Amino acid sequence: MRRNREECAALDAADPLAAMRQEFTLPEGVLYLDGNSLGALPSGTPARVARMIEHEWGHGLIRSWNDAGWYGLPARLGDRLAPMLGAAPGQVVVCDSTSVNLFKVLGAALRLRPGRRTVLAERVAFPTDLYITEGVTSLFDGARSVLLPSAADLDAHLGEDVAAVVLSHVDYRTGELLDMAAVTERVHRAGALMIWDVCHTAGALPISFDDCDVDFAVGCGYKYLNGGPGAPAFLYAAERHQGEARQPLSGWFGHARPFAFEPGYEPTGGIRRFLTGTPPLLGMAALDASLDVWEKVDLAAVRAKSLALTSLFMDLVEPLGLEVVTPRTEELRGSQVAVRHEDGYAVVQALIERGVIGDFRAPDLIRFGFTPLYLSYVDVWEAARHLREVLESGEWRDERFARRSDVT
Which of the residues 79, 161, 171, 197 is marked catalytic?
A: 197
401 marked as part of a ligand binding site: no
Contact status, residue 125 vs residue 166, Cβ threshold 8 Å? yes
Q: Say whether 98 counts as a known binding-site residue.
A: yes
The answer to whether the annotation marks 222 as part of a ligand binding site is yes
CB 334 within 8 A of CB 175: yes
**Distance of alpha carbon 236 from alpha carbon 293, whole angstroms:** 22
User: Using CB atoms within 10 A of its CB, is residue 65 exposed (0-12), middle (13-18) or buried (19+)?
Assistant: middle
Is-catalytic flag, 222?
A: yes
Residue 296 appears among annotated catalytic residues: no
DSSP output for 198-221 = -TTTTTTS---TTTTT--EEEE-S
Q: Is 315 annotated as a binding residue?
A: no
Which of 32, 103, 126, 377 is flagged as catalytic?
Answer: 126
Query: Does 200 carry a binding-site annotation?
Result: yes
Is 223 noted as a catalytic residue in this protein?
yes
* Active-site position among 272, 303, 354, 367: 367
Give catalytic status of residue 367 as yes or no.
Answer: yes
Judge whether 306 is annotated as a binding position: no
Closest listed residue to residue 245, CA positions, set 148, 348, 133, 111 = 111
Ligand-binding annotation for 127, yes or no, is yes
> Is residue 197 annotated as involved in ligand binding?
yes
Q: Measure the CA–CA gap between 381 and 4, rounded to whole angstroms.
A: 8
Annotated catalytic residue within 116, 173, 223, 354: 223
Tell me if 133 is assigned to a ligand binding site. Answer: no
Catalytic residue among 103, 222, 345, 374: 222
Chain-centre distance for alpha carbon 143: 28
Pairing of strands 336-340, 365-369: antiparallel
Contact 100, 218 (CB under 8 A): no
Instruction: Please enumerate, by residue number, every residue annotated as part of a binding site.
Output: 98-99, 126-129, 197, 200, 222, 252, 278
Instruction: Please enumerate, by residue number, every residue annotated as part of a binding site for pyridoxal 5'-phosphate.
Output: 98-99, 126-129, 197, 200, 222, 252, 278
Active site residues: 126, 197, 222-223, 367
